[in-house]
Amino acid sequence: MNAGSVRARWEDLPREVRDAVEARVGPPVVDFVYPAGGFTEGLAARVRSADGGEVFLKASPLGARMASHYRAEAAVGKSLPTAVAPLLLWSMEAGDWIVNAFEPVQGREPDLRPGSADLDGVLDAVGLMEKELTPCPFPGAGPVGATLSTLAGHWVRLAADPAGPRQDMWIASRRSLLEELDAPDRLVKLSAGDTLVHCDLRADNMLTESGTGRTRILDWSWGARGAAWVDAAFFVPQLIIAGHSPAGAEAALAARVPAWRAVAPEAANAFAVALTGYWSWHHGHGPGGALGAYRGRAAQAGRRWIDYRLALI
């Protein structure tokens, strides 16, 4: 997934940090496996010590952009049930780095394509999140509306952007409808609730376990308190990117995620419009590489989803 990103490796950690990790994991650390998934530049590695102990480490310099995400992940990690997420074993700050250690999961990124044998397990995991994470088990969770309102508001910017898609017929023919639906205040109101929601539900933030086939959810740095439908909504375009039709993606989720069956159409519409506007803007104005390419695919999937929801096709 992240062919364009450059992740830190064990040897990039300062000696002091490696010593502090080895003091906990058991020296010397003898084996590393670096995953392919994810878009961030921090260290992510499965590490094994000579005595056979294993942990999954995520680490970042405190000065880097990622550090606040890793701190957030350490805070929410203590409240996550292991049925949903790998156990947070410990977190520490040493030598101007933050290091989070998790239970290592033996598994792989699930295949979300239509007909995949992983799909039912993945959708069950999304349904389980709703059940296990309501009421919200993390007292420090902020309102999801604060996150969602930063997604909204991009269609006005896109329409006004001289370098942007003035000639983009898809936007031009839907402009007033998009701008009307892309209302942060309404989205904040409609997304209020008392579930711990993940807000970044994608295949590379999931691992399907080799033995049990169950799927665990990783990377909780965006965890927030809100309506349970929000995570299902984040997942719809991921299924579309993987090859599902918008109708098929919504139906697959509705079959296994109660909150998605109950979502108000107005809420799902506002969400689809906001998220797709965010992707469209950042595809044109953010970095290129793997992340830029992903945002381009996601924006296209989001546009198909909007057309389906608003019955524009």
Ligand X SMILES: Nc1ncnc2c1ncn2[C@@H]1O[C@H](COP(=O)(O)OP(=O)(O)O)[C@@H](O)[C@H]1O
Write down the least CB distance from residue 16 to ligand X, Å: 23
Query: Among ligand X, Mg ion, none, what binds residue 35 when CB lies within 5 to 8 Å by partner kind?
Result: ligand X
Provide the 3-class DSSP secondary structure of residue 239. Answer: helix
Cβ–Cβ under 8 Å, residues 273 and 182: yes
Q: Which residues bind Mg ion (CB under 5 A)?
A: 38, 205, 219
Residue 225's beta-bridge partner residues? 143, 196
Write down the least CB distance from residue 159 to Mg ion, Å: 32
Kindly give the interhelix angle for 289-309 and 265-285, rounded to the nearest 10 degrees: 150
Q: Which is nearer to Mg ion, 41 or 179 (CB)?
A: 41
Residue where the block lists tokens 């039709």: 245
Write down the least CB distance from residue 312 to Mg ion, Å: 32
Residue 62: exposure state from Cβ atoms within 10 A (0-12, 13-18, ≥19): middle
Query: Among Mg ion, ligand X, none, what binds residue 56 when CB lies within 5 to 8 Å by partner kind?
Result: ligand X
Task: Residue 30: count other Cβ atoms within 10 Å of its Cβ.
Answer: 12
Query: Among Mg ion, ligand X, none, what binds residue 44 when CB lies within 5 to 8 Å by partner kind?
Result: ligand X
Site for ligand X in 195-214 (CB under 6 A): 204-205, 207
Nearest to 103 by CA among 141, 58, 72: 58
In degrees and rounded to multiples of 5, residue 217 shows phi and psi of -105, 130
If binding means CB under 6 A, how many residues of this protein chain bind ligand X? 19
Write down the least CB distance from residue 196 to Mg ion, Å: 17
> From CA 242, how far away is CA 239, in angstroms rounded?
5
Site for ligand X in 78-137 (CB under 6 A): 86, 102-105
- Tell whether residue 218 is a contact of ligand X (CB under 6 A): yes
List all residues 6 or more positions away from 50 whose beta carbon is below 8 Å from its beta carbon.
Answer: 26, 27, 28, 30
For ligand X, the binding residue among 20, 56, 67, 270 (CB under 6 A) is 56
Write down the least CB distance from residue 308 to Mg ion, Å: 27
Q: Which is nearer to Mg ion, 130 or 219 (CB)?
A: 219
Residues that bind ligand X (CB under 6 A): 35, 37-38, 40, 42, 44, 46, 56, 58, 86, 102-105, 204-205, 207, 218-219
